[in-house]
Amino acid sequence: MTKIKVGFGFDVHQLRQNHPFVLGGVNLEHTSGAYGHSDADVMLHAICDALLGAANLRDIGYHFSNKDDRWKGISSLILLQHVVKLIGEKGWKIGNIDAMVCLEAPKINPHIPAMQANIAQAAGIDVEDISIKATTNEQLGFIGREEGVVAYAVCLIQKD
């Protein structure tokens, strides 16, 4: 009998002027970018948290502390690869990933195929098992003022 679990992830990062903006492993052209200890890829962080949560492996901060210099500036694709290894050690495989990014700008629609390809390669799953969507916050709150970016993710993991 196949056992399945779902996980939910959330992440938020502030935006800073003249800072790189990495999302889904893609460098986006924009006047500001997400700031954090690693590359601040908010979508990949939410995905990592969803996967870790589904496998009952705590959260991304537990595994990749922002006080640990090993993770300073690291690509979040590497963090995702590590998370996939951790859940695999417990016998879990990814069924699918569904991610939502909330930001006013830049528009990410043209970049979604590249993001899906990056995530698929890092996670060892098919592009068809990765959904990425985006919405704005209708110019409300810190997202609407372009002070920050938020991502949510849901995943399904399974084992036989």
Which residue ranges make up the annotated binding site?
11-13, 37-38, 45, 59-61, 64-68, 135-138, 142, 145
Q: DSSP label at 128?
A: G
| Alpha-carbon torsion angle 114, 119, 124, 130, nearest 10 | -90
Q: For residue 16, report the phi and psi dihedrals to the nearest 5 degrees.
A: -125, 140
Helix 76-89 and helix 42-54: axis angle, to 10°?
Answer: 10
How many angstroms separate the CA atoms of 56 and 98, rounded? 19
How many angstroms separate the CA atoms of 43 and 150, rounded? 8
Q: Which residues are annotated as a binding site for a divalent metal cation?
A: 11, 13, 45
Helix (H, G, I), strand (E, B) or coil at 105: coil
Please list, in sequence order, all residues whose beta carbon lies within 8 angstroms of the beta carbon of residue 69, skipping any fewer than 6 positions away.
none
The closest alpha carbon to 35, from 14, 56, 17, belongs to 14
